[in-house]
Amino acid sequence: MSNQLAVELNEIIRRDNPFVFGMLSELGRELFFPKGILTQTAEAKQKATRYNATIGIAKESGQAMHLDSVMKHFAGISADETLPYAPSPGRPDLRAKWKDLLVGKNPSLGSKVVSLPVVTSGITHGLSIVADMFVERGDLVLLPEMYWGNYNMIFGVRRSATTDHYPLFSTDGSGFDTEGFRRAILKRAPEKKLVVVLNFPNNPTGYSVTEAEAAAICSTLKEAAENDCDIVAVCDDAYFGLFYEPDVSKESLFVRLADLHENILAIKLDGATKEDYVSGLRVGFLTYGIQGASAGTYEALEKKTGGIIRGTISNCAHHSQSILLKAMADKDYARQRQEKFAIMSARAAAVKRILTQDRFAAAWTPYPFNSGYFMCVRLKDLDAEAFRIHLLEEYGIGVIAAGRSDIRVAFSCIEEAEIAPLFDAMFECAQEMKRNEVG
């Protein structure tokens, strides 16, 4: 039997947008944000002017009790900004700040109504929340043909979803396969519910769509929605902003999808992990966008999201949120981000320049890339796993085998001066393996 709080949240969503209510999994419908201790603690924080004996943390001399051997490693941050629990949906000031930044990075979002971002423990955690809230056993999740392997664990293993794929690149290798995407979506639209993962910049290929390709993707999803298909559009924007070429769409697909159709629930997953180079701090965000959604619907979804965080990890790390807030308030924050972007952009340009050498065509064909941390090559007449192992054991070089013939190279962690020697060694390895096969 559902908790009364869950019933109330469901009624708000059902009344305002029955399509979104229909997208919720059984678990999603059962979720709520508990009042209990959290509510009583919040009330006491405001009104307990004499003694506050509600929250389960230790305090001393008016601040969070701490060990000096711990706090000495947190220069510039107080114990109260580091050690107490953060709210389950995240610090309110950080959530508001990230929403402001979203509009700054996606100017078209300024005219649209979306939810307040909820803080997640990285983007993987955000994807897991989405899976729990919106994916049921047997639901179809459409992934790009080249995709991050952890999607299988998140959607397939954990939630028993059926996964299928849409083509990523056109057959001529010029860019995103808009026609193939359209065929894949419309073929599956009669199933009446689709979860579509849109990952740009893409991991593993480092490809982001152009403005024309973005428009075509959204047109296809709208067409499916107009044919009574409920679509959960999951925008995995882990590497957002790392765009290196002028023709790349500089705004997230979430912006176009957030008010595209009442049958489309757009969910944006992003964070400081990659954008600010702080993967280990585990600060991600989850934002909802729905055509015509009321403040009540967004609040209900935020409470359900906060409820699942409360019921799994309680809350995300407080010190990480505090560090990020202080960093974003730093007068040099924007300049420092631009400096790091310039380094990444130079590395991507070096990869493109080096791979124009005709000799490499004997070993592989590069996939298009224009953004993010990675790029991929398709090996010619070599098994990717065998190549990876030989390259590692004989050359001391690590790369990722992504499928039977694809190799992923993370140029994000290679200095610009080391990029040419890296590909030289990869080419030498491929040639050696081919000679050994002939011999």
For 241-266, give the DSSP string: T-B-STTB--S-HHHHHTTS-TTEEE
Q: Specify the pLDDT at position 2.
A: 67
Q: Specify the pLDDT at position 439.
A: 56
Please state whether beta strands 118-120 and 140-144 pair in parallel, antiparallel, or not at all (unpaired).
unpaired
Residue 14 region by backbone torsions, left for phi larger than 0, else alpha for psi between -120 and 50, else beta: alpha
Q: Specify the pLDDT at position 148.
A: 95
Mean pLDDT of the 315-331 span: 96
Mean pLDDT of the 340-369 span: 97
Buried-exposed string 72-98: b where 16+ CB fall within 10 A, e elsewhere: eebeebebebbbbebbbbbbeebbebb
Task: Say which CATH architecture domain 4-33+88-329 belongs to.
Answer: 3-Layer(aba) Sandwich (3.40)
Question: In this structure, how many other beta carbons lie within 10 angstroms of the beta carbon of residue 381?
Answer: 11
In this structure, whether the domain defined by 334-438 belongs to CATH 3.90.1150.10 is answered with yes
Q: Measure the CA–CA gap between 69 and 73, rounded to whole angstroms.
A: 8
244 to each of 161, 241, 393, how far by Cα in Å? 35, 9, 33
Is-contact 127 143, C-beta < 8 A? no
Residue 88, SS3 per DSSP: coil
First to last CA, the chain: 70
CA neighbours within 13 Å on the CB side: how many for 226?
A: 7
Confidence band for 409, pLDDT divided at 50, 70 and 90:
very high
Which string of DSSP letters, residue by residue, matches 272-333?
A: HHHHTT-GGG--EEEEEEETT--HHHHHHHHHHHHHHHHTTTSS--HHHHHHHHHHHHSTTH
Q: Specify the pLDDT at position 222.
A: 98
Query: pTM for this structure?
Result: 0.94
Every domain of the chain and the residues it spans: 4-33+88-329, 334-438
Mean pLDDT of the 25-53 span: 84
Q: Specify the pLDDT at position 438.
A: 67
Model confidence at 1: pLDDT above 80: no
| Residues 202-247 pLDDT 10s | 999 999 999 999 999 999 999 999 999 999 999 999 999 999 999 9
Percent with pLDDT over 90 in the chain = 90
Please state whether beta strands 193-199 and 140-144 pair in parallel, antiparallel, or not at all (unpaired).
parallel
| Residues 110-164 pLDDT 10s | 999 999 999 999 999 999 999 999 999 999 999 999 999 999 999 999 999 999 9
Q: Specify the pLDDT at position 42.
A: 74
Q: Which DSSP symbol is given to 155? A: I
Q: Specify the pLDDT at position 54.
A: 84
| Residues 58-106 pLDDT 10s | 988 889 999 999 999 998 899 999 999 999 999 999 999 999 999 999 9
Q: Do domains 4-33+88-329 and 334-438 have the same CATH topology?
A: no
Residue 235, SS3 per DSSP: strand
Q: Could you tell me which of 159, 164, 163 has the C-alpha nearest to residue 137?
A: 159
| Residues 259-302 pLDDT 10s | 999 999 999 999 999 999 999 999 999 999 999 999 999 999 99
Is-contact 336 235, C-beta < 8 A? no
Q: Measure the CA–CA gap between 316 and 94, rounded to whole angstroms.
A: 12
Confidence band for 39, pLDDT divided at 50, 70 and 90:
confident
